A and B are shown apart, each in its own frame.
Chain A
């Protein structure tokens, strides 16, 4: 660090690959080192914090022998199916709605108060009605996931459309663009970074809502595995479940992050 001029530290500068790898590995080593030290030294009882290795062993065991009826992969598959349906619906409805709200003032005036009223109802608060209306199979959790993923999709598309440079809008209006062309060719491209950020957050919240829904009402899925692990007072099973949730969530995030990078690169960022 000492050889780098002070000024260069202020702005994001690309690192060399070797430095990037060294720093990343250093971060991981520090994280697992502290965890291992806390667990292995007996500072924290093993019942509360098993060592990383013990958790890894438990994880492998869960993928081979079924726990509460299914193996880890089967739990994940049933969770992911619910997630894909709920998130897909939220994105397909939310993004166009947000863009249209950013352009048509009447739609904005109709939807915004309703949306503001509904979006503060925490997705988990839909659990009682979800169970009452759709049951605990696939419909109930999908409603909860949808209500988690929907607001970020709408808000970010809306804010993206609202904060488009007025010059662009005026130019398009001067050239006689129709409403549809304005939304598709001016607002949509200009707010893509905001929309993708919204999709990423929506996917995260949707996945979170899924876990919450499964903690409370489900008889399969990864959230159910967590609850059963907790009632067996097995920290290792709970942590294995959390890791599995993390891996799937991470995979979803990486896909959307790749999309974001590609879009930003094409836009010259």
Chain B
């Protein structure tokens, strides 16, 4: 074995060592994070149990005890509450949100990209957009009811509006945060327009677009619950409405938890899409 080979293999083994070391540290940090998360929920649950069931510091009229929430959960799953079982309410809500959400992405993202890419288009579209934009989706509820009645069409319209505004704003500011060098380089190289949109504009704006989509999803749920609180025959907002009429804090908690779990599942799906769409971007 020559000296060169020995040095080479030594260097290689050092590289492997430091790589596995880094991998191990990352894995340890991930599992630590998981344990801290589990411990946090554990501590909170014990505190909840202690404050309600054990010491009655919090009266049942203000916040329910764990056992009451469990009973309410069993009730809505077995016998149903507010005219349907839990999964039927969830399905109804999810259907409405997805319809409004995807319709808003289809219209909002291209509009925002175009506004970011062209000052002339921005100047034309911005004034009416600025007039309508500050009107919150929830403020359209009374108007949507007058126009479309109490059915699902009015709710989809309002959800669409809720998701549309964040989709436009973030696609727009996504384009504006692209490094000028990239745009200038593409311009200098005479990249055709379609290629420019596909290779520079969309990838550059992608991080902001996904931030926008996350916020959109959130806005959709807010709007859906408000719409269903005001008038509906099914859905999670309807459960909340019925529970607050009945002054049934345990069922309010079940309704809120169902809204959170369903939305969390959808956001995890969106996060998966985000990683698939932007493999070049690694978070620390």
A interface residues with partner B (beta carbon < 8 Å): 1, 6-7, 9-15, 19-20, 23-28, 30-31, 48, 105-106, 108-110, 112-114, 116-129, 131-133, 148, 151-152, 155-156, 159, 162-163, 166, 193, 197, 200-201, 204-205, 207-209, 211-212, 215-216, 223, 226-227, 229-230, 233, 235, 238-239, 241-243, 245-250, 252-253
Contact = CB atoms under 8 A, between A and B. Distances in A.
A246 B252 contact: no
A9 B124 contact: no
Q: Is the interface of A mostly helix, strand, loop or mixed?
A: helix
A205 B221 CA distance: 12
Interface string B18-32: 000000000001001
A163 B284 CA distance: 8
A117 B186 CA distance: 43
B225 A122 contact: yes
B169 interface: yes
A120 B221 contact: yes
A25 B173 CA distance: 23
Nearest to B183: A11
B127 interface: yes
A122 B187 contact: no
A19 B124 CA distance: 10
Contact of B40 (A13, A25, A114): A114
B229 to A, nearest CB: 6
A72 B206 CA distance: 42
A145 B141 CA distance: 18
Nearest to B212: A201
A15 B120 contact: yes
Task: Give me the 3 closest cross-chain CB pairs, A-B, nearest first.
Answer: A249-B134, A208-B136, A120-B263
B264 A120 contact: yes
B36 interface: yes
A28 B183 CA distance: 30
Nearest to A260: B173
A208 B124 contact: no
Contact of A125 (B138, B196, B259): B259
A197 B259 contact: no
B26 to A, nearest CB: 11
B140 to A, nearest CB: 7
Given A152-B215, A230-B146, A24 B123 contact: yes
Contacts of A27: 123-128
B277 interface: no
B133 to A, nearest CB: 8
B138 A133 contact: no
Interface centre among B187, B219, B223 (most CB of A within 10 A): B219
Nearest to B30: A109
B176 A242 contact: no
A119 B218 contact: yes
B78 interface: no
A87 to B, nearest CB: 13
Contacts of B173: 197
A201 B217 CA distance: 13
A77 to B, nearest CB: 18
A238 B138 CA distance: 12
A200 B225 CA distance: 23
A54 B247 CA distance: 43
B37 A250 contact: no
Nearest to A6: B193
B128 A120 contact: no
Given A215-B226, A229-B142, A128 B252 contact: yes
Contact of A14 (B119, B135, B177, B237): B119
A19 B136 contact: no
A30 B42 CA distance: 58
11 contacts: A1-B120, A20-B123, A23-B120, A25-B127, A27-B126, A113-B37, A114-B40, A122-B221, A208-B136, A211-B136, A212-B222
B143 interface: yes
Contact of B131 (A1, A31, A124, A204): A31
B159 to A, nearest CB: 12
Nearest to B162: A208
A121 B127 contact: no
A239 B144 CA distance: 11
Given A24-B127, A48-B147, A120 B222 contact: no
B256 A10 contact: no
Interface centre among A166, A207, A208, A241 (most CB of B within 10 A): A208
